[in-house]
């Protein structure tokens, strides 16, 4: 008699559980590098995640260690239209982040600073990871907002960061990205 109620409870609980298949991209130099979840990032030289403080406006975003040249940055990942549109809007402090990585599976889009309250630098990279260009962006205070893009929209990656934080990136550096 007790087996039936326990079985019934197990069935009800399993019906309330869903499996989500992720098509999210991960940014890593080594295909064997661990995948992390929101709020965690694998610290350099370690397979143990550590906690990363995120701005409240982007809580819940995935965070990855992204290699550019021989350096790694701790970046929030914006790899779908909704995340790319939100970007760093309303963020006043990047907290523990070095910035945000924007990734497209097709040519990228122009950027604007609508509802973005802090100035940002941006660096673009081509589909093969090579350097494309850079500029500095200022918050939009009147309509229409200025649009920012490289000479053409043929790029796949963009990194936004605080002014000056990306100055070390040179035209011979490459970003490595594995879309899994």
| More confident site: 41 or 56 | 56
Length reported for the chain: 180
Confidence at 26, pLDDT banded by 50, 70, 90: very low
| More confident site: 51 or 77 | 77
Share of the chain above pLDDT 90, in %: 61
C-alpha distances (whole Å) from 165 to each of 9, 48, 85, 98 are 54, 26, 22, 8
Backbone φ and ψ for 149, nearest 5 degrees, come out as: -165, 160
Structural domains in the chain, CATH included, are: 24-161 (2.60.120.1140)
What does pTM read for this prediction? 0.72
Q: Within 10 Å of residue 166's Cβ, how many Cβ atoms?
A: 20
Q: What is the pLDDT of residues 82-141, one digit of tens each?
A: 999 999 999 999 999 999 999 999 989 999 999 999 999 999 999 999 999 999 999 999
Confidence at 76, pLDDT banded by 50, 70, 90: very high
| More confident site: 50 or 158 | 158
| pLDDT at residue 41 greater than cutoff 80 | no
């Amino acid at each position: 008699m007790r087996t039936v109620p326990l079985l019934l409870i197990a069935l009800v609980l399993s019906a309330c559980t869903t499996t989500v298949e992720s098509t999210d991209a991960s940014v890593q130099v080594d295909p064997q590098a661990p995948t992390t979840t929101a709020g965690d990032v694998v610290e350099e030289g370690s397979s143990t995640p550590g906690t990363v403080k995120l701005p409240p406006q982007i809580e819940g975003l995935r965070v990855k260690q992204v290699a550019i040249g021989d350096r790694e940055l701790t970046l929030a990942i914006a790899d779908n239209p909704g995340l790319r549109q939100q970007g760093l809007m309303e963020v006043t402090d990047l907290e523990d982040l070095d910035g945000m990585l924007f990734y497209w599976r097709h040519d990228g889009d122009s950027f604007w600073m609508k509802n973005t309250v802090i100035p940002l630098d941006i660096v673009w990279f081509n589909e093969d990871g090579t350097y494309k260009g850079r500029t500095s962006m200022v918050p939009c205070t009147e309509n229409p907002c200025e649009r920012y893009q490289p000479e053409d929209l043929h790029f796949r990656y963009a990194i936004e960061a605080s002014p000056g934080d990306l100055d070390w990136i040179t035209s011979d550096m490459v970003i490595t990205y594995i879309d899994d």
